[in-house]
Every structure is written in structure tokens, then in C-alpha cells.
Structure 1
């Protein structure tokens, strides 16, 4: 593992379009970047056993999860020639239609940015200890009170 500081990747609730737009805008001054790739994970309104998902409540042990995210980040920097990388994951309640995962990679060339983004998403899904509990339409009154 490198000496880089471990970043907190977690955002309370949904990742807003404003956060995504701001992140993109901040990279316009980095003229050595020729390509970006972005993955946005969105909560689906799946139907399970006849009930529709209204939201997902994400829980996480942040210290352990941030360490794993750090290892995933460092492995991507090692494997791909990246200029920059940002990862944000929601914790807490995220409603159907809202963004819960934002992965943003930047490189001088598109292949590295695209390959790294796909790699990161797959590694996160496989290794990150983030747990989501579906909240269904008949349970939605419980979480509306807590917002």
C-alpha cells in the first residue's frame, strides 16, 4: 500500500447532480487530461415479491470500507496510466432514481480511463463492504419520518 492519505469516499444520502457537475468542472484546468470516463450507479425501483423498491438504506463500517476502497484505488493507479480518479459511494437512504455510486477516471488517453473505470466498478462491487437493504413501498412511511 502507498503512503497516500486514505480518503473518505462516503456521502450521506444520494450523490447529487451538482456534486458530479462540480467534479467534472474542476478538471477543465488539467490540460494534460485527454479523456474521462464516468460510471453512475442508480437505485432501481425493482419489483421483488410483488413489492416495489422505494429506496435502499446503505450501511457501512467506514474505516474498514475506506481502507478497502484505498486498496482498490491504488491498484487501479498501478494498473492504468491515470491522471486522476474520484470515487463516491452513498451511505444512508437513497431513493429510487437517485445516484448511489460515482466513479470518475481521467487519463491522457481514453482506453486507460475507460478500462480503469470498468475495473474500479467491478472491484468495488466484489470487494467493498457496503451493504444495501431495500425499503419497499409499504415500509416507506418509516424512513420518510427520519429524513
Structure 2
């Protein structure tokens, strides 16, 4: 009986030790895959410490919402609907993700944003240069 208690104590100690020593290499980093098609939803900035977001003015009235399509091949496709006939213009570039930074390059122009939120339903970016916050939804 005493042997069973000692063995049980050792097993419990190992279990507690193993769960307390878990690696947290992703601290502050979201691990949801970023690939997917996101519809442009809102845009804004931080004023007096609070996010102020409005419907994205780039979305033309009566048209589908503009979008950002991040593909597995690291290709970024930016879709822009405009004009009275809602014609679609797609611009293609590349993207790179490094921890919580997303850099999109189209031609010779690059922009880097902080990934503020990434879930299965939302991608929220904050441009590192301008501070503009852009919210995309799936």
C-alpha cells in the first residue's frame, strides 16, 4: 500500500511538473494561419487611446466589398471594385509574415503592418508607418 502511495505521488509530481514547464515560444503571437480571402470591412485609427473605426470608404456603394486574398504561395491579391458597373481590378504582389508583422509588396512598394487580431473570422492590421487600422472579415 505504501508503495502505491509513493508511486501515485511521483506520477502526480511528474504531471504537475510537465504541465508547468510548457514552452511558450509564441508569446504575444497568434498562431492561426493567415492564408485566406478577407473582405475589407472597417478602417480607422486610435484617438485618445481608443480605436475609432468606420465603414471602409474604399468600398464603392452598391458593389461587393474590396478584398485581400493571401494565398499559400505567399501571393497577395488585392481586389478593388469601383465605378458605376462595379468593375473589379486585381493587383497582385507578395506577402511575408514574420511573427505579428505582415509585409505586403506590390511592385516596388512595400507596407508593413502589425497584426492586431487574427481569428477565423477577422484580420485586423495597423500600418506601422501611418497608424491606420484596417479590419478585414472572412
Give the structure with the higher percent helix. 1
Give the structure with the higher percent strand. 2
TM over 0.5: no
TM-score (norm 1): 0.24
